[in-house]
Amino acid sequence: MTENNPSPIPPVELRTPRKSEREEMLAGKLYDVSDPELVALRDRSADLCSRFNALPRGARAERAAVLDELLPGHGEDLDVLGPVFFDYGCHTTIGDRVFANFNFTVLDCAPVTIGDDVLFGPNVSLLPPMHPLRFEDRNVRRRPDGSSYDYEYGRPIVIGSNCWFGGSVTVLGGVTIGEGCVIGAGAVVTHDIPPHTVAVGNPARVLREITEADASALQEYAR
């Protein structure tokens, strides 16, 4: 509707009865971002990210200890260069031998699942958050006490094992990327990507399948 012809539908309100806002959030329901439990979890994650990002690369034991707190669901041999930015951290599950280059960003208001042996180039962002399309539903509001709030929802992201993400890839919520994929630099992934394929572009599209013919591509470097 235009400004001169406003929508007759009032702004959306949360349904009742409800579970906790965290449970509603993880279930993909509309939730109140200002909920005290969620604010506390985000503050904790921000503090841990800041601690990790401030540590020198040589402080390996200290960096590993911070990652253990930030990402309790990570597997063995996690290698993160930093800086990193997680909304919650505790809603992200990471497999074994995962590598993340500079500026790895995960806004895990919905579950993010990453398989084994995944490589993330610099500036990769995994973005589950969603906002209502109508501004009437999306805009920040005021409570009677003057505090502000807004409603969001999230969609999970699933990344299979043995994937490689080029620099500055963005993955949006609701996407599943199959095992063994290569996502080209700068791609914006808005839909599922089938296993063992190369995807590029904005929005990302499947360029081709990865086959046995690719096994010999760089063999001269091994001689």
Indicate the burial class of 54 (C-beta count within 10 angstroms; 0-12, 13-18, 19 or more): exposed
Catalytic residue among 74, 131, 191, 196: 131
Distance between CA 171 and CA 211 in Å, rounded?
24
131 has catalytic annotation: yes
Cβ count within 10 A of residue 213: 8
Backbone torsions φ then ψ of 207, nearest 5 degrees: -85, -45
CA angle 197, 170, 196 (to 5 degrees): 10
**C-beta pairs of 28-34 under 8 Å, 24+ apart in sequence:** 28/110, 28/153, 28/154, 28/155, 28/156, 29/153, 30/132, 30/151, 30/152, 30/153, 31/151, 31/152, 31/153, 32/149, 32/150, 32/151, 33/149, 33/150, 33/151, 33/152, 34/147, 34/148, 34/149, 34/150
Asked whether the beta carbons of 209 and 196 are under 8 A apart, the reply is yes
The residues carrying an active-site annotation are: 131
